[in-house]
Structure formats: C-alpha cells, structure tokens
C-alpha cells in the first residue's frame, strides 16, 4: 500500500486501511437479487476478486478460496449497488473534508455510481482519486461546467459553444451539462459539435429549444422531467392524455432517457411541506449553515408574492401522472435525486425518492431496476455493472430483507461493497457518527 492510500483511509476517513483495498471476498449462503429480471436466487455463494464478481453458484458447489474473507450472509439479500444519475459534488471552494464526507454519505447508503452534473476546476482530480482507491467514493462520471444562457459563464454565441464543447472533451469531462437559457442556435451548435467530437449532452431543456427539438437533436437524458409539463401545458390543469401519449411514444422511440428527481422537484416548485423537511434526521450530516440556508430559502419561496400553492400542487400531481405514463409506455428511466441540494442529502435522499416513484405507480422492481440494471445499460460502453452477475463490477449492497417485497429494506444494510472494497455496517455507522459530530460544530 502506498503512503497516499494509507493517509486517505487512516487519517482523513478514520477507517482501517483494509477497506480501501479490493481483495477476495465470499458472500456465503446469500439470496441473490440479480436485477436482470424480477427474481431471487437463494442459497448462493458469491465470490469477489479485485473489483469483479468472479463466481456465483449454489453454496454446496463453491470452493471458497483460502485467502477469501467470508461474509456470512444466511437470511440476507445481495443486490447491485445503486446509482445517483443526477448528483453533485460540493460547491467550488469547499474544503476537502466536505468532498470526502459527501462521497461517503453516498456510499454509506449503497450508492456506488454517481453522475455529477456541474463541473468546476479540481473535480477531475477527485474522480481519479476515487478510481485509484485513495478515498471511499462512488465511481464518478462528471459533467463539465454548464452550458447556460445567463451569468458570468454564459454561452451566448455559436462560436463560444463550439469552442467550449471541444475544450471540455479535451479536458476529459464525461459529458456536457445543459442549463436553462441557451438560445436555439447556440444549443444546435453545441449538439452538432458534441456529436462530432463524441461527447454526450444532458440536463435541462432550455425554453428556446423545447423538449421535442432537444430530443431530436440527441440530448441523451432529460433530467427532472424538465420540459414535459411545459410541452403538455399542464402547470395549472390536468394533463391531456392524447398529447401525453404522443410525447411518451417519442421518448421511447428515440431512446431518450429520463431522470425524474420527483422529491427534489416538489421542493423546487414549492409543493413540499417545510415542517416535514426540516425534521429530516439526515440533515445532521450536512454543514449547519448549509441546512440553515435551505430552510431560509424555502420559507421565502412560500411567501413570495408570485408563489401559487395550487399551481405547485397541480404540477406535482401531473408529474406523477407523467412518470407513470413514461414507465408504462416503455421509456428508459434512470434514478436520480439531485443530491446534495435543498433537503436532498447525499445517499439518504434515495429512500424518499424510492417511495415517491412508488407513489407514482411504478413497481418495486421497475424502481430498483432504474437504479441498477438500467444504469448499467446506460454505461455499457464504459464498464460492466448494475447486476449481480459474473464479470460485473463488484458494487454490492447486502440487505436484511428482500427489497422486491419492501423498498424500505434498502435502508436496512449489513454492509456495502464499492469496486470490491467491503465496508460493514458497523464501520459505516462509526463514520456517519463522525460526520454528524463534525457537522454540528
């Protein structure tokens, strides 16, 4: 082990260094939830070597390697690690310990892949540290600095758009982030250049572009279901089913992926209950001033002269109808919560999002697949993960019960494995206690 790895785990994270080293492990007598279909397979032993699953077979037929660490898992369920497909890193200028804490909060809840959607200088170094195992962190996919139509970093010309796409590709960002405000000609130049250099673009739907044009130009993901309610003109009234069916078909037929972020968007539009959010127990893991800013900002929103509570409730209800229609219509759905963001605490936010998707009418299996296999399908050209299957990356979540029966089991962890590094629940809790203690100061 090199000195940098030792420092990262022993000093900065306060955990034993063995957790940051992928070795050989055996999950013995576990029930596997592969996520390739709605099924479980009981009495299995799963062997992990390095960062890969190398064998899955009935326990009676497996020869466990002598050097393997045995994880006795009778009565437990093993599922793939989950993904956060619209997450964020801490803001630019944040101290290193906040980055490490945020990454750990994700992993502690079984989130082993994060697509971070707002780049700034320094983030690429964190991605490489995670890859090298110097910190406990999900596998990170990073969007570059956003393409937006306003503010000091606005992209306002075709020439700027072309230059910025080429620069971000050369710098090594994984994708381009689209924010509101881009003019149509600027967006079209960005999209054309992105196709030419081979980098995807995802995120919001600028009003001047519109949902249909963005889909036609190849925007790979529509995050927050952005642009759909506007396209359906359904901010104040129930959705027109005929128009809904048309856009669902287009979404499906073009292979466009959607990321709902249901819970966070209720906060954004003002449809969430502030008293309930302020009582979230997971707020203790975030810096106190950040939480106070969330409280102040949201309370101000609710008393602003232009705030319309009925409109917010109607929009929130329509978003549930929309998500159910997209799911039933065969659209590609992947999981995201937009954490950290107002009351959306990294990792912990997944549990509320799971329930919100259930409330919209999706099945437990559909919801879990959106956070596992679907994400593996999305990244199939990059790596092999998202299922409990031989050859897949060893991102795993060991649970006390079957999440196909009860989504609440996702919170009942026995431990998390990220890229072959095993972190048992006792050590997860010890680290969470330290984060909470530091955040209270």
Task: Kindly report, residue by residue over 218-239, the tens digit of the pLDDT.
Answer: 999 999 999 999 999 999 999 9
Q: Which range marks the domain in which residue 276 is found? A: 82-378
92, 46: one domain:
no
User: Which pLDDT belongs to residue 153?
Assistant: 85
Instruction: Kindly report, residue by residue over 317-365, the tens digit of the pLDDT.
Output: 999 999 999 999 999 999 999 999 999 999 999 999 999 999 999 999 9
Tell me what percent of the residues of the chain surpass a pLDDT of 90. 93
pTM of the model: 0.94
180, 191: one domain:
yes
Instruction: Kindly report, residue by residue over 5-42, the tens digit of the pLDDT.
Output: 333 343 334 444 444 567 999 999 999 999 999 999 99
Q: What is the CATH number of the domain that holds 32?
A: 2.30.40.10
**How many CB atoms neighbour CB 58 within 10 A?**
12
User: At 126, phi and psi to the nearest 5?
Assistant: -65, -40
DSSP assignment letter at 393: B
Q: Which of 403, 223, 245 is nearest to 330 (CA)?
A: 245
294, 336: one domain:
yes
Longest CA span, the chain: 69
For residues 286 and 270, give the distance between their C-alpha atoms in angstroms, rounded to a whole number: 22
122, 152: one domain:
yes
343: left (phi over 0), alpha (psi -120 to 50) or beta: left
Which of 378, 402, 430 finishes a domain? 378
Half-sphere CA count of 410, side-chain side, radius 13 A = 27
User: Which pLDDT belongs to residue 21?
Assistant: 67
The structural domain count of the chain equals 2
372, 400: one domain:
no
């Amino acid at each position: 082990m090199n000195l940098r790895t030792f420092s990262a785990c022993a000093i900065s994270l306060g955990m034993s260094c063995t957790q940051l080293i992928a070795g050989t492990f055996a999950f013995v007598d576990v029930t596997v939830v592969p996520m390739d279909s709605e099924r479980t397979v009981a009495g299995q032993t799963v062997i992990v070597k390095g960062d890969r699953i190398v064998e899955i077979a009935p326990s009676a037929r497996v020869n466990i390697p002598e050097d393997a660490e045995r994880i006795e898992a009778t009565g437990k369920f093993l599922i793939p690690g989950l993904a956060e497909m619209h997450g964020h890193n801490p803001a630019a200028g944040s101290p290193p310990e906040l980055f490490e804490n945020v990454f750990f909060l994700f992993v502690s809840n079984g989130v082993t892949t994060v697509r971070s959607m707002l780049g700034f200088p320094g983030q690429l170094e964190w991605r490489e540290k995670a890859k090298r195992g110097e910190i406990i962190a999900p596998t990170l996919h990073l969007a570059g600095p956003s393409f937006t139509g306003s503010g000091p970093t606005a992209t306002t010309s075709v020439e700027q758009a072309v230059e910025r796409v080429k620069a971000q590709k050369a710098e090594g960002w994984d994708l381009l982030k689209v924010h509101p405000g881009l003019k149509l000609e600027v967006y079209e130049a960005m999209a054309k250049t992105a196709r030419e250099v081979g980098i995807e673009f995802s995120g919001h739907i600028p009003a001047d572009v519109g949902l249909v044009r963005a889909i036609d130009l190849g925007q790979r993901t529509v995050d927050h279901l952005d642009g759909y309610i506007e396209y359906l003109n359904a901010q104040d009234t129930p959705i027109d089913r005929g128009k809904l069916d048309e856009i669902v078909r287009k979404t499906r037929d073009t292979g466009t992926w959607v990321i709902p972020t249901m819970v966070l968007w209720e906060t954004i539009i003002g449809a969430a209950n502030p008293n309930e959010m302020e009582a979230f127990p997971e707020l203790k893991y975030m810096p106190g001033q950040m939480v106070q800013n969330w409280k102040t900002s949201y309370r101000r929103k609710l008393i602003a002269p232009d705030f319309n509570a009925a409109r917010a409730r109607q929009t929130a209800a329509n978003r549930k109808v929309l998500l159910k229609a997209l799911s039933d219509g065969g659209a590609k759905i992947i999981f995201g919560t937009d954490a950290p963001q107002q009351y959306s605490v990294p990792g912990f936010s997944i549990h509320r999002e799971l329930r919100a998707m259930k409330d919209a009418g999706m099945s437990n299996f559909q919801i879990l697949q959106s956070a596992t296999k679907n994400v593996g399908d999305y990244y199939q050209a990059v790596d092999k993960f998202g299922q409990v299957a031989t050859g897949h990356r060893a991102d795993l979540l060991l649970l006390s019960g079957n999440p196909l029966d009860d989504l609440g089991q996702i919170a009942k962890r026995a431990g998390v494995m990220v890229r072959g590094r095993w972190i048992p629940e006792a050590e997860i809790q010890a680290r969470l206690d330290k984060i909470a203690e530091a955040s209270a100061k």
